[in-house]
Structure 1
């Protein structure tokens, strides 16, 4: 291309930051960066800029923060940047047909799943909760539907047995930035990315996370609870009642077939340096790292140093 590719980037959280960096390359001119308005955060509820805004300002880029694009003035402001392409990564706003029609090359979206599986707001955590063995990244041409547009590029990523919401987030962010970079290079060299329509068969929706989901119900299977613990790390963090105390559970595993006898779900079966075993509806969940109210994240062994009586309680509950 003789003229630079004029691009507007739209994103908000940390996941989008590597993608913004991927757009900063030879042949690309970032006309503006759109992100959500500053929101209250932290204990003081101080207005805090998004991760994308901070990265954009550090790079000396123009930042725009409209509440939405319902008003014509907001759409006119966007059109005034005359973008060839708009790249959207976890922006947090639904873009109308009027907005999607502004750039001559349309709008691209980077989505953290293998579409059509896990369309929607929380694809990373939903994949973990479902026990999926792989996920990935799709570079998609946006249309009016929610994550329904044709896929331009896709790349699969295996889910490791110990992946958490946090580790999978970081690996997908890196992969997404790489795939976006590849797509931009194709366009810069005059190639067209062939769109592949999504199949409706196999489509699933990744609902937004709710803090209430993070409660551990010991009537569920140990496998399902282990997936919850991994999926909700680092937010909202799983929590459950253990020996009369509500704890945040950061790390736990299903040790596989084990004896829980006739103990009802929620019974403390064992409390050793290896972990704290809780009877579940099916199997046993071993808690490895936890956090008490107002405390910090600690190992099960450190927790038992503060509550040595649990070792005897577990031995009594488990029987001889």
Structure 2
């Protein structure tokens, strides 16, 4: 029985985990990873050196061919580079049976989606149709969702609109951050795509259309999304800290808010929003705005980082003399 020829397309660590799973399962799944597609090398770090993606590094370590087209668009025809037409021809020459896509970051036109015999499968980090788009992990935490997961989707034109082949759920704990949830979903994605490739024809036969009435979109995260508004309730602020690069201003200095513990229901306050109520060795307690019931809670901040400095845990904050009871976290400009 001939092996199924797989093209893998992905770029960041999330995709690397899935690729490693497929590499480990090649014999079990009777597949051959014919090539890996990933984003062109980018400048990174203080030295701004060209850096390969995690997916490229893994592929090269296993002797897998790597392709890094800039675009698959037929309109892309540079004088000194590879055109979209040539990129499509190169893909077709690999004679792919199926293409597995995970956080690739490049638009795949219909001509590309139709190139593999069984089309293109996407590993998406949400339970579709909830959280289509660029930032499903962050948006799920911000929204207070208690469950998320991974969907294996048959790719179609449109943003994450294709039919669903497989879903796997994952609880969101009160202590989960974007990073911890990312790691759980990355592992889940590897297991999910393995299950689908083991019985692909059957999963495609029983594919489920998405309910457009339930669809919502995980918009790309902007830097301003991380600025804490202390008039928000403590639960929303704690989710913001877990989900984003959260920051505020303290005594005129910008400070990153790195971590916070779950809110204790009994920690009720009547202090002004943003006020530092207590600086302790276990947590810095700050007042927040009222929730929907008009109750104000304290938030338990356990990690801060001042500009140009190292991250401080709660005990280091307490011993730093950088913040005292009665100080205020403020919005930019002191508001």
Instruction: State the TM-score, normalizing by the size of structure 2.
Output: 0.88
Q: Which runs of 5+ in 1 are unaligned?
A: 315-320
C-alpha deviation, 1:192, in angstroms: 4.7
Are positions 1:172 and 2:172 aligned together?
Answer: no
Aligned to 2:72: 69
C-alpha deviation, 1:86, in angstroms: 0.6
Q: Is the 8 A contact 1:19 1:177 kept in 2?
A: yes
Are positions 1:38 and 2:41 aligned together?
Answer: yes
Q: CA RMSD in A?
A: 1.5
- Work out which of the residue numbers 234, 237, 254 in structure 2 matches 1:222: 234
Are positions 1:304 and 2:307 aligned together?
Answer: no
- Indicate how the Cα distance of structure 1 residues 250 and 308 shifts in structure 2: closer, same or farther if over 3 A, else same: closer
Q: Is the 8 A contact 1:242 1:266 kept in 2?
A: no
Aligned to 1:317: none
Are positions 1:58 and 2:61 aligned together?
Answer: yes
- Work out which of the residue numbers 292, 295, 311 in structure 1 matches 2:306: 292
**DSSP 3-state at the match of 2:47:** coil
Give runs of aligned pairs for residues 1-320 of structure 1, distance below 5 A. Answer: 2-24=1-23, 25-26=26-27, 27-70=30-73, 71-187=84-200, 191-193=202-204, 194-232=206-244, 237-253=245-261, 254-261=263-270, 263-282=271-290, 283-307=297-321, 310-311=324-325, 313=326
Question: Residues 276-312 of structure 1: CA distance to partner in whole angstroms, max 9, x if unpaired?
Answer: 122211222221111121222221221221117714x
Instruction: State the TM-score, normalizing by the size of structure 1.
Output: 0.92
Counterparts of 1:208 and 1:216, CA distance in 2: 18
C-alpha deviation, 1:242, in angstroms: 2.9
Q: Which runs of 5+ in 2 are unaligned?
A: 74-83, 291-296, 328-335
**DSSP 3-state at the match of 2:69:** coil
Counterparts of 2:319 and 2:239, CA distance in 1: 27
- Indicate how the Cα distance of structure 1 residues 308 and 41 shifts in structure 2: closer, same or farther if over 3 A, else same: closer
Counterparts of 1:308 and 1:290, CA distance in 2: 11
Question: Residues 39-86 of structure 1: CA distance to partner in whole angstroms, max 9, x if unpaired?
Answer: 111111111110100000001100000001012111111111110101
Q: Is the 8 A contact 2:5 2:32 kept in 1?
A: yes
Counterparts of 2:267 and 2:302, CA distance in 1: 17
Moved over 6 A (4+): none
Q: Is the 8 A contact 2:166 2:203 kept in 1?
A: no
Aligned to 1:318: none
Q: Is the 8 A contact 2:234 2:298 kept in 1?
A: yes
Aligned residues: 305
